[in-house]
Every structure is written in C-alpha cells, then in structure tokens.
Structure 1
Amino acid sequence: MVTSSRRTAAALAPVAAVAAAHVAPAATWLPVVRRRFPRLAGVGDPAHVALTFDDGPDPGSTPRFLDALEELGVRATFFVLGDGVVRHPAVVRETVRRGHEVAVHGWSHERPWLPAPGDDVRALARAAGAVRELTGRCPRWYRPPYGILTSGRWAAARTAGLRPVLWTVWGRDWTPGATPASVRAAVTAGLRGGGTVLLHDTDRMAAPECWRAALGALPDIVRRCREAGLSVGPLAEHGTAPP
C-alpha cells in the first residue's frame, strides 16, 4: 500500500509541477508586483486614479453604477465577461454611450488550474471580438478573473491585442459582510495617486447583493480622491499605455 501510494505521488508530481508553474503568476496582486511591474499593477499618472469595475455587464446592477457615475461626473473602465456581452448587449451599449471604457475580463469567470493555451487564445479572441463587434471599438485592456495571470493568458492577451492590467487597491466588495463603510475603508487605506481601484458592478460571481456595498461607497471614494487633488477616470486617461 505504501509503495503504491509513493508511486501515485511520483506519477502526479510532474502534473503538479506543471500546474504550479502555470498558476504561479496568480500572486500578481502582491505588493512586490506593484514595485517591480508597476504598469502591470495599474500604476499610472500620480495625479490620477483609475476607477475600474469587474464581472459585468449585469442588467440589474450595472445601470445603477452608470447613473451614480453620471451624477459624480466620473467615467470608468468596465471589464466585461464575453458571455455577458452576448446576453446583455443593451447594457454594454449604454455603458459606451455614457462615455465609459469597455475592457475584457475573459469569456467566463473560470480559474485556470491546468494549462490550456489553445483555450485561452480562443476564449480571449472571442471575448475581444464580442466587444469590438458590439461597440465598434477595439478593447485595449485585459484583466484576468481572480487576478490569475498565467503565462497562457498573458500570451493569449497579447495575441488578441490586449494589454494585461491588474489593480493597486480593491474594495473587497465581493464578500458577504461587505458594507459601504468597509469598501470605502479598504480602498482609501491603500489608495495613492497613480493607483487603480478594483470594484465590482455585479454579484454574479460573488455574495448576493454585495454590489450595493460598492455602489454605496462610490461617492465617498470619489470625494476623497478629489479632496486629495486627484482626478478620477478610466484607464485610457491613466497614463499606463505604452507610447
């Protein structure tokens, strides 16, 4: 029995090693990445803060964020899922009509535990194509679900003409206990000029109704940025794009 277990472990070791190497870039949210790869982390113009939202479009919640942003006089970048673009095209069109930037979050919200470079290329090309066909604009940015930027996803993004970008601060607004106060505290505690804020405009991949915490925190986040002399806007205005 012991011998059999050892043989099984030895057989699985190469698979585990490949998987570990594949998902190793999952730690891209760590502070070391912000220091060593600031553009990847979304560090831009020190007088500007990029405001970004993930996981939409959602016909039940995204329009509420669009209304709130319009009242605040702020535009943002929305990282959308391709399957949502196909299901809710009117929401995406309205997002663009109101002056916001639409970027790619993938086709679906899956974790890439094992390498699948062919699938990565096809999924990102499909998602980018859906955005381009619907909006008439080529998306510029890609943010992988969960921040797991594997080597395969990196290569797929480049093939699709997308630039990977993550975030410098997040609101932890996907958790069941999130409140406007907790989201505001999480964002403002680590926010600096040049930072990129990650929030969510839907609860599709998170705790039910958690988007309300992000929506409630939004006015205070914008106000605090402005009080600090920082402008707030989409990644297109953040100074992270290469020349």
Structure 2
Amino acid sequence: MVTARTAAGLAAGAAAATAGWHIGPAATWIPAVRRTLSPALDGRGDPGHVALTFDDGPDPHSTPRFLRELDRLSVRATFFVLGAELRRYPELGRRMVAEGHELAVHGWRHEWPWYPRLGRDLRELPRAADTVLQVGGERPLWYRPPYGILTGGRWAAARRAGLRPVLWSAWGRDWTAEATPAGVLSEVTGSLRGGVTVLLHDSDRVSAPDSWRAALGALPLLVAVCRERGMRVGPLGEHGLQAHRAA
C-alpha cells in the first residue's frame, strides 16, 4: 500500500529528476566545462580557420551595416537568427543568403529557459528551422540557444529538428552599454587561436541600446588580426564541424 508520504516522496523524486534532466546540460554554458567535456559544442574546428558568428538578428537597423562591412572585408559569416524576427524581415534573410552568409537557428524568440517546457521547445525550434528553410532555401545545420543555455528540452528539440548545438569559444562581451570596439577586440583576442568560434551580436534586441556599434567597429580589426596570424575567417559551414542531419 502506497502511503501519502510515499507518494509525496515519489513525486518529489520525479520532480527532482525532471529538473536535473532539464537544467543539467546548462552547465555547458561554463567555458571550462564545455572545453573539457565537449570541444565540438565549444565550437572548436579547423585549426587554420576562425568561425565568425552573430546572434539576435535579423534587425533592419543594424544587420545591414554588418552585411556592408562583411562585404567590404570579403568575409562570410554565420548568423544565428530568431525565427520570429526572420519571419518579420524575410527580405533581410534573403539578402544574407544572397551575399553568401549562412543562416542558423537561435530559437523562435529570445527567452529565458529555466522552467521545463519540452512541448513548447519541440514546437518552436522546428518552426524556427522551417522559417530559415522557407526564407533561405536551405535547411539550417546549427543551433545556438538564447543566452547560450542549453537545457535538456532545448537539446531534445534540436536533435528532433536535425540541428547541431554550437556555442562559442571566444566572445566580445559586446552587449553592454560600456562596450567599445577596442574592448570587444581585446575580449576576443584573449581567446583567439585557430579553430575557435567567435560570438558577436548584430542586434541590440536584448542588449544595451546601440551596443552593436562596438561589435561593428571591432569587426575590421578582428579580421585583420586573424589574417595577420594566418587564419582564415568564415562561417561554421567551413569550420570542419560535422552537422546533424534530420532522420
């Protein structure tokens, strides 16, 4: 006979297990953890290549400025886009693809992930991937969760959508009001070596207003440093990572 106390204990155990399954993978947000346990999730690829990636767009105010600068520099990049924004600005997504850039998935909206919501994750991530396919003409390969927090639900949804999660191995801290081009460059170059994946932002949608200007100002300086060190700069698709494919 199951007592009320036993039932409560079983329920508490199940809740704890669910919470552990959901939150446990988020430990990969810590650079030392993912460098040790999952270099691929850390974005480590071809040692002669640096993968340049941008999050949080497309944004009609700022993204075109990055596209113009990338074109001037003859550099292509990967843009982790939000599905809701891509649906709102599909012409900008088509321009990215036409100019040789790669579209990847950053989720449907930029939301905090702490409460388990597997059903919603399983609906929204494929929806974002389908939007990328419809706009760009190719099914995306990569997924980077908002805030870089890869929960169990997000991981399961990514696998179902045929997406490979990729975080980053160098970032510019370009989302703060105090960010400057020199500061962004210093942050990135502190971890810059062949094979890294660099995270920057082409939008201030969830950052300090106009913070994207620091990343834009740092961009030509960063590309110059990479080239001086003999490293190519390009999208994740040229970084030597193996992508998941939908079954």
Normalised to the residue count of structure 1, the TM-score between the two structures is 0.92
> What residue in structure 2 maps to residue 155 of structure 1?
156
Which letter does structure 2 place at the counterpart of 1:147?
Answer: G
CA contact (8 A) 2:163 2:243 kept: no
**Which stretches in structure 1 are left out of the alignment for 5+ residues?**
1-10
- Partners in 2 of 1:194 and 1:117 — Cα distance? 33
In structure 2, what is the equivalent of residue 168 of structure 1? 169
The alpha-carbon deviation at position 34 of structure 1 amounts to 1.4
Structure 2 gaps, min length 5? 1-10
Offset, 1:21? 4.4
- CA 1:163–1:240: 2 relative to 1, 3 Å: same
Runs of 4+ residues over 3 Å off in structure 1:
11-21
Partners of 2:125 and 2:161 within 8 A in 1: yes
Shift of 1:116: 1.0
Partner of 1:142: 143
Moved more, 23-32 or 160-169: 23-32
CA distance change for structure 1 residues 215 and 12 in 2, over 3 Å: closer, same or farther?
farther
Partner residue of 1:81?
82
Q: How does 1:6-85 map to 2 (within 5 A)?
A: 18-19=18-19, 21-29=21-29, 30-85=31-86
Q: Is the Cα contact below 8 Å between 1:39 and 1:240 reproduced in 2?
A: yes
- Please say if residues 56 and 202 of structure 2, whose CA atoms lie closer than 8 Å, have aligned partners that are also in contact: yes
**How far is the alpha carbon of 1:32 from its aligned partner?**
2.5
Aligned pair count reads 233
3-state SS of paired residue (1:130): helix
Q: Distance in 2 between matches of 1:136 and 1:13?
A: 46
**TM-score, normalization by structure 2:** 0.90
Aligned to 2:125: 124
2:190 counterpart of 1:189: yes
**Could you say which residue in structure 2 is the equivalent of 1:3?**
none
SS at match of 2:40: helix
Q: Which whole-Å CA distance do the structure 2 matches of 1:27 and 1:234 have between them?
A: 26
CA contact (8 A) 2:164 2:243 kept: no
Preserved CA contact (<8 Å) 1:102 1:139: yes
Aligned to 1:102: 103
Q: Which moved further from structure 2: 222-231 or 13-22?
A: 13-22
Amino acid at match of 1:27: A
Percent identical across equivalent pairs? Answer: 63
* 1:152 positional shift: 1.0
Alpha-carbon contact 1:19-1:113 (below 8 Å) kept: no
Aligned with 2:80: secondary structure? strand
Give the root-mean-square deviation of aligned CA atoms.
Answer: 1.7
What is the one-letter code of the residue matched to 2:86? Answer: V
User: Does the 8 A contact of 1:168 with 1:196 survive in 2?
Assistant: yes
